């Protein structure tokens, strides 16, 4: 993990300095790290079994491909990290700082899904998922 962070910041620095050969080398390293191996199989299975179906069923019709209420999509990890009008929707590893849990708990102004609060078990799974740093399979697209 620490290694990955080192590589990431190294890459950031080389991009700013704009030194192509070194940036390219760092890029290759980053690429190798950026497949599913960042999260283990059990965590990805947890996402697929417990989290993805909820997002699809209860959220995507308003926060997906067709509609983006509050400028928010909930169909990729990047989109959740970016968030909507109120900033990031999740802070990986920090459920208490994640807007996602606040809206699911129905404690603030924004309450989601709007029609009915999710059951305790599902909200608990969401919390666990954020504690696990929000595992999500990487899409291996390369331009
Ligand atoms: C029927 C449409 C609808 C559904 C379904 C829905 N949302 Fe929303 N969502 C909205 C609307 C409208 C807003 C803007 C509310 C506001 O600003 O008061 C919003 C806002 C949000 C925000 C705040 C984003 C920001 O930064 O402003 C979050 C987080 C959110 N929704 C999460 C969810 C989650 C998670 C689900 C599924 C469990 C969900 N929503 C399901 C309509 C929906």
List the residue whose alpha carbon is closest to atom 29 of ligand 1.
Answer: 100
The first and second tokens of residue 67, run together, are 């509609």
Per-residue pLDDT at 35:
45
> Percentage of the chain with pLDDT > 90?
69
Distance 113 CA to ligand 1 centre (A): 6
Task: Write the Ramachandran bin of 53: left for phi over 0, alpha for psi from -120 to 50, otherwise beta.
Answer: alpha
Per-residue model confidence (pLDDT) at position 38:
80
Helix H or strand E segment including 46 = helix 41-46
Q: Stretch 77-87: mean pLDDT, rounded?
A: 97
Burial (CB count <10 Å: 0-12, 13-18, 19+), residue 35: exposed
Token pair listed for 70: 């509050």
User: Per-residue pLDDT tens for 2-46?
Assistant: 555 555 445 444 444 555 555 555 544 444 444 445 899 999 999
- The Cα–Cα gap between 40 and 69 comes to 32
- Ligand 1, atom 24, lies closest to the CA of 84
Rounded to two decimals, what is the model's pTM?
0.79
CB distance 99 to ligand 1 below 6 Å: yes
Distance 134 CA to ligand 1 centre (A): 19
């Amino acid at each position: 993990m620490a290694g990955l962070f080192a590589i990431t910041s190294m890459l950031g620095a080389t991009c700013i300095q704009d030194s192509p050969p070194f940036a390219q080398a760092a890029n290759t390293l980053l690429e190798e790290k950026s497949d599913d191996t960042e999260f283990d199989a059990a965590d990805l299975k947890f996402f697929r079994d417990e989290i993805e179906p909820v997002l699809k069923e209860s959220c995507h019709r308003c926060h997906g491909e067709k509609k983006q209420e509050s400028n928010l999509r909930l169909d990729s990890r990047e989109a959740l990290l970016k968030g909507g009008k109120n900033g990031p929707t999740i802070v990986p590893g920090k459920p208490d700082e994640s807007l996602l849990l606040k809206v699911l708990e129905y404690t603030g102004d924004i309450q989601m899904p709007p029609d009915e609060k999710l059951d305790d078990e599902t909200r608990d799974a969401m919390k666990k998922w954020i504690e696990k740093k929000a595992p999500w399979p990487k899409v291996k697209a390369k331009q």
